[in-house]
Amino acid sequence: MIHQVRQDVTLIAGPTPLPTPVGARRLDVRTAQEMLEAVLAAIPQASALMMAAAVADFKPVAPAGQKIKKEGGIPRIELQATPDILAAVAAFKGEKGWPRLTIGFAAESQDLLANARSKLEAKKLDFIAANDIGATDAGFGMEDNRVTLLFADGRVEALPLMSKAEVAEVILERVVALL
């Protein structure tokens, strides 16, 4: 008997010109609050959640309704924290058990492994892909990347320099293996 496995993918994305991957269902959001609500609505049906990008950590308390003109001088902008989506997912997972796997990403400019390990533990992730954004040969704006995978069980897997598509394949292989 052949069993067919459903592999539905929901992409929750902020404003971006990037195309939607073939076969994925896309939900567009504009704010951190909308992303939090969309993620929490999607995870009860999810085997795995991969948070590939972080929303901004802060937002203005009182957003301007129009362009701020320089003639008024330098504005004083008060900020407030945005929702911590992975912390909310960790709380949900602790209560409901879903999603089965939670994978995060850490783009760091200093203390790469220490900061990634801290995030892995604080957010109760199954693993995290740590990326040194200060690297001159990989990362933002480049075709290649070099990441280190840190797992909740203490394993560390340093990946060599490879294309971002290859990094994504490795991460998906680890997700499938853990599921």
Q: What is the DSSP string of 63-78?
A: --SSPPPGGG-SPP--
Note the pLDDT of residue 17.
84
The answer as to whether 49 is a domain residue is yes
The CATH number given to whatever domain includes residue 101 is 3.40.50.10300
| Range from 32-46, 57-71, 126-140, 156-170 carrying the lowest mean pLDDT | 126-140
Contacts of residues 69-78 at CB distance under 8 Å and 24 or more positions apart, as own/partner, are none
Note the pLDDT of residue 160.
92
The answer as to whether 66 is a domain residue is no
The answer as to whether 60 is a domain residue is no
| Range from 25-29, 54-58, 79-83, 84-88 carrying the lowest mean pLDDT | 54-58
The answer as to whether 2 is a domain residue is no
The answer as to whether 78 is a domain residue is no
- The number of domains in the chain is 1
Residue 119 — very low, low, confident or very high, per pLDDT cuts 50/70/90?
A: very high
Element (H, E) at 20: none
Residues 6 or more apart from 136 whose CB is under 8 A from it? none
Note the pLDDT of residue 21.
86
The answer as to whether 157 is a domain residue is yes
pLDDT average, residue stretch 140-155: 86
The answer as to whether 77 is a domain residue is no
Range of the domain at 17: 9-55+84-178
Residue 5 — very low, low, confident or very high, per pLDDT cuts 50/70/90?
A: very low
Note the pLDDT of residue 143.
78
Note the pLDDT of residue 68.
87
Residue 53 — very low, low, confident or very high, per pLDDT cuts 50/70/90?
A: low
pTM: 0.81
**24 vs 156: CA distance, rounded Å:** 30
Indicate whether 93 pLDDT > 50: yes
Q: Mean of the per-residue pLDDT values for the chain?
A: 87
The answer as to whether 67 is a domain residue is no
Note the pLDDT of residue 35.
93
Residues 111 and 86: beta-carbon distance below 8 Å: no
